[in-house]
């Protein structure tokens, strides 16, 4: 066991040092220093960390500034430098900078998470301690969210090759029961994507507009009673957004279903404007509607009707119903993973005899 203190955050300067050390020792990971340098740069820029050196304001600073400019223009070596230039300003890569999933591009966060795991492995540090820490630090304390992230991480053959035996450690940490649910959910998502690609095709814009018009006034048949539907969509006013207020009010939900599950002839006026935020995103509503469709629908082909109903009640959906191509792209994303910060306990809203909601991947 290493006697060195281990920071359980994902921290850029220590990752840079670890990567350079591994490159220097000719490790089996075959790190591409240039690729990782670009990732570190993007994380720093996205984090809005202030530069340590900006364009000179007077003549006395010119020589110092030009020194860094010359250094930044030197040919890239295999080792990651301790600074970089961006739009004429210089940033420090030796300064402590923590990485947070919420503010980092998913592909960059995944790569840095992998490198952190390898750093811990090299120091013979218990991986479980890091995962418990990260569950709080980056996944809002939600075990389901970090489980889904780790499942996707280990589902990639390239990642498993890099991590080797750590893949088993990660799967053991997820646990057999959760792993089984995640595997089942992944298979269901594949089937749903295949179904969408087959059944939701319209040949022309003219045909699309005719079908949109023909759906107006239609009562959508589903396997849930109106009481069950209203109970499910109570999440819209029972779940609170960042300001402590609900997504929508109970009165707005009642208004939405006052004529049952029936597509109106015209959009309601005014449309419902949900109260959402970065931590409580609009995607939660889309995911909730898609789960409603997945568990209550009688026919696969009714998905479009479901979303047409909500597009005529909730502001934000009408733009996805304007053409077959736009709707197809939207439809394929409705069942995708929720952000890790999502904390809705969906099972409390579904009817007792309904299938449980899919875990977030």
Mean pLDDT of the region 253-281: 89
Two tokens, residue 231: 């109970």
Q: According to DSSP H, which parts of 74-175 are helical?
A: 106-122, 127-137, 143-155, 157-163, 166-174
* Mean pLDDT, residues 301-316 taken together: 93
Whether residue 360 contacts residue 144, with contact meaning beta carbons closer than 8 Å, is answered with yes
Whether the per-residue pLDDT at 229 is higher than 80: the answer is yes
- Of the two residues 80 and 276, the one the predictor is more confident about is 80
- pLDDT for position 202: 54
pLDDT at residue 119, rounded to an integer = 93
Retrieve residue 299's tokens: 């026919």
- pLDDT score at 199: 43
pLDDT, one tens digit per residue, over 57-102 is 888 888 888 988 888 888 777 899 999 998 888 999 998 999 988 7
Region 314-322: mean pLDDT is 91
Query: What number is the average pLDDT over the span 245-250?
Result: 89
Among the listed residues 303, 301, 304, 240, the one whose alpha carbon sits nearest the alpha carbon of residue 274? 240
- Of 290 and 201, the one with more pLDDT: 290
Is the pLDDT assigned to residue 140 strictly greater than 90?
no
What are the φ/ψ torsions at residue 72 (nearest 5 degrees)? -70, -20
Does this model's pTM top 0.85? My answer is no
Q: Pick the residue with more confidence: 279 or 268?
A: 268
Tokens, residue 31 = 């790190």
**Range among 10-14, 83-87, 105-109 with highest mean pLDDT value:** 10-14
Average pLDDT of the chain to the nearest whole number? 84
Q: What is the pLDDT of residues 19-63, one digit of tens each?
A: 999 888 887 677 788 888 989 988 888 777 788 988 888 888 888
Residue 222 pLDDT? 92
- Across 259-274, average pLDDT: 93
pLDDT over 60 (residue 274): yes
* Residue 155, pLDDT above cutoff 90: no
Burial 251-288 (b: 16+ CB within 10 A, else e): ebbeebeeeebebeeeeeeeebebbbeeebbebbbbbb
The rounded percent of the chain whose pLDDT value lies above 90 is: 35
CB 109 within 8 A of CB 99: yes
Using the predicted structure, report yes or no on whether residue 253 has a pLDDT greater than 50: yes
Taking the C-alpha atoms of 39, 44, 46 and 52 in order, what is their torsion angle to the nearest 10 degrees? -140
The pLDDT of residue 357 is above 60: no
171-195 pLDDT, tens per residue?
Answer: 999 999 888 888 877 665 555 554 4
Task: Give the pair of three-digit tokens for residue 110.
Answer: 């995944």
Question: In 3D, which of 295, 222, 286, 233 has the Cα closest to residue 258?
Answer: 233
Count other C-beta atoms under 10 Å from residue 154's C-beta: 20
Q: Are 327 and 306 in contact (CB under 8 A)?
A: no
């Amino acid at each position: 066991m290493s006697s060195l203190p281990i920071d359980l955050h994902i921290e850029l300067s220590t990752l840079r040092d670890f990567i350079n050390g591994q490159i220097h020792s000719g490790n089996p990971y075959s790190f591409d220093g240039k690729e990782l340098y670009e990732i570190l740069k993007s994380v720093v820029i996205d984090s809005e960390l202030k530069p340590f050196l900006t364009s000179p304001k007077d003549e006395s600073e010119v020589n110092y500034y030009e020194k860094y400019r010359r250094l930044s223009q030197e040919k890239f070596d295999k080792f990651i430098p301790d600074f970089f230039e961006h739009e004429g300003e210089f940033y420090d890569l030796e300064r402590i900078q923590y990485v947070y999933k919420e503010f980092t591009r998913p592909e960059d966060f995944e790569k840095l998470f992998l490198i952190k795991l390898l750093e811990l492995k090299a120091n013979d540090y218990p991986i479980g301690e890091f995962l418990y820490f990260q569950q709080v630090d980056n996944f809002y304390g939600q075990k389901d969210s970090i489980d889904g992230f780790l499942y996707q991480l280990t589902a990639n053959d390239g990642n498993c090759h890099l991590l080797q035996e750590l893949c088993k450690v990660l799967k053991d940490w997820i646990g057999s029961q959760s792993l089984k649910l995640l595997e089942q959910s992944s298979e269901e998502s594949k089937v749903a994507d295949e179904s969408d690609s087959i059944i939701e095709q319209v040949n022309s814009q003219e045909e699309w507009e005719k079908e949109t018009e023909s759906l107006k006034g239609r009562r959508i048949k589903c396997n849930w009673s109106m009481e069950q539907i209203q109970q499910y969509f109570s999440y819209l006013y029972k779940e609170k957004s960042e300001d402590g207020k609900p997504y929508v009010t109970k009165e707005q939900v009642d208004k939405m279903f006052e004529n049952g599950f029936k597509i109106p002839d015209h959009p309601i006026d005014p449309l419902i404007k949900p109260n959402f935020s970065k931590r409580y995103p609009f995607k939660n509503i889309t995911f909730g509607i898609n789960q409603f469709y997945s568990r209550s629908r009688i026919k696969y082909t009714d998905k479009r009707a479901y979303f047409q109903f909500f597009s005529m009640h909730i502001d934000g959906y009408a733009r996805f119903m304007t053409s077959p191509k736009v709707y197809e792209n939207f439809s394929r994303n409705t069942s995708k993973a929720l952000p890790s910060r999502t904390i809705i306990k969906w099972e409390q809203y579904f009817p007792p005899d309904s299938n449980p909601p899919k875990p977030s991947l």
